[in-house]
Amino acid sequence: MPSVKHKIPKESHDYPEISRFVVEQILLIIRSAIEGGNNKIFIHTNLRRGLPLENINKVAGPFIEAWALEQFETIVDDAGNRFDLIHVESGRRLDPFDIILQFRRRRDGSAYVSANVDVKATAEDIKTSGRSPNITSYARIRSEYIEDPDYIFIVLSLKHRVYAEKERDNGITK
């Protein structure tokens, strides 16, 4: 019977601290965008009835993902930003992540830390929204941890609500 070699990943001693740091920075960035009023996405359509609200969660996901990417890109454009975000990269189709973020650490040995972010959109005004999100498979993420025991994978779940108003002059809903 052939022998099987098991690779046992061993994360760095400061992995929990690094992971907390990344999560806190992401939360601060998103919270800052929301509190600053930068959390609105305007979609104008020529459909008189507006967007089909019963399926809005299918439409909203790519918009929410693009919004999140732009928030991180805006931060990284300021080289001296308070979040120590130094690089943002969009994932490609079929990547296990939507966005890669790289932060500068100002302490001990590791100077930089990367986080792989999977953005999920959940409609606040649809009761069943978010119950079965399309989350990256555990097997794909697990293999990333085997290759890099300090791999950081974060699911960023953003709630949204749709507001619509009808224009008086042409009757189009926006």
| Domain boundaries along the sequence of the chain | 15-37+46-160
**What is the pLDDT confidence band of residue 134, given thresholds at 50, 70 and 90?**
low
Cβ atoms of residues 60 and 130 within 8 Å:
no
Considering the chain, what is the average pLDDT of its residues? 82
Residue 160's SS3 state is strand
Q: Retrieve residue 62's tokens.
A: 């790519």
Sign for the pseudo-dihedral over CA of 137, 21, 110, 16: negative
Kind of pairing between the strands at 85-90 and 153-160: unpaired
Distances, alpha carbon 158 to alpha carbons 54, 87, 130, 154, in Å: 18, 21, 10, 12
pLDDT at 126 over 80: no
pLDDT in tens, 30-62: 999 999 998 888 877 777 777 776 666 677 888
pLDDT in tens, 142-154: 788 888 999 999 9
Question: Which pLDDT belongs to residue 9?
Answer: 82
